[in-house]
Homo-oligomer: A and B are copies of this chain.
Amino acid sequence: MAPMARAATTSDVFNAISEPQRRDILVLLRAGERPVTELARELGMTQPGASKHLRVLREVGLVRDRKKGKQRLYGLDARGLRPVHEWAGGFERFWNESFGRLDAYVQDLKQAKQQEE
C-alpha cells in the first residue's frame, strides 16, 4: 500500500553524473588530485557542498581519496564512466540518421516539421 516512490536509482553512476556540479568535479579532477577545499574554491561551491558531492561520487566509485597530511586528496577513477560511454555508444548508428526508422518518418516529414514550430 505504501505508495512506492522513486526507484532506487541512487548509487548508480548515471545518477551520479546527472548532477552538473558533479560532472564539473570529475572534469576538474582530470587535471590531477585535489584537496576538498581547493576543489570547492575552484568550482565556487561551499566546502560542505563539495564534500557531499564527492561522497556521492565516491559511493559509485568515480573518485578515490587518500590522506595527505591534514587534507584528503580526491582523485579520479574513471573506470565507472566506461559503461556510460558504451551505453551511449550503442546509439551511435542512430544519431547518424537523425533518428531511427528514418524512412517511416520521411513519410510524415511535413507533419513533423509543423510540430517543431
Is A2 in contact with chain B by the CB < 8 A criterion?
no
Contacts known (A18-B18, A20-B7, A30-B100); A78 close to B105, Cβ less than 8 A: no
Check B67–A95 contact: CB distance below 8 A: no
Check B9–A87 contact: CB distance below 8 A: no
Nearest CB in chain B to that of A80: its residue: B95
- A 48-106 contacts with B by CB, 8 A: 64, 66-67, 75-82, 84-85, 87-92, 94-95, 98-101, 104-105
A-to-B contact residues, CB < 8 Å: 7, 9, 12, 14-15, 17-21, 23, 26-27, 29-30, 32-33, 64, 66-67, 75-82, 84-85, 87-92, 94-95, 98-101, 104-105, 108, 111-112, 115
